[in-house]
Amino acid sequence: MSPLNPTRRYAAQAHVNTPVHRACRINRHLAWRVSDFQNLLNGVKP
């Protein structure tokens, strides 16, 4: 992975401060919980 240049780092920082980013994190968290629950139903230890 190449290090981020300043403009990309600034864009990422700006993205973190937006509600869109919060929605991204929530969706990722929910997706992780759902897959974890499905694994539990299938008898697979996470």
Q: Residue 41 pLDDT > 80, yes or no?
A: yes
Tokens of 17: 């401060």
CB 36 within 8 A of CB 45: no
Q: How far is CA 32 from CA 9, 15, 28, in A?
A: 26, 21, 6
Q: Is the dihedral of CA 36, 39, 41, 43 positive or negative?
A: negative
What pLDDT band is residue 38 in, cutting at 50, 70 and 90?
Answer: confident
Please give the pLDDT value at position 44. Answer: 67
Does residue 3 surpass a pLDDT of 50?
yes
pLDDT at res. 1: 47
Residue with tokens 């403009």: 7
pLDDT tens profile 15-28: 667 777 777 777 78
How much is the pLDDT for 13?
A: 72
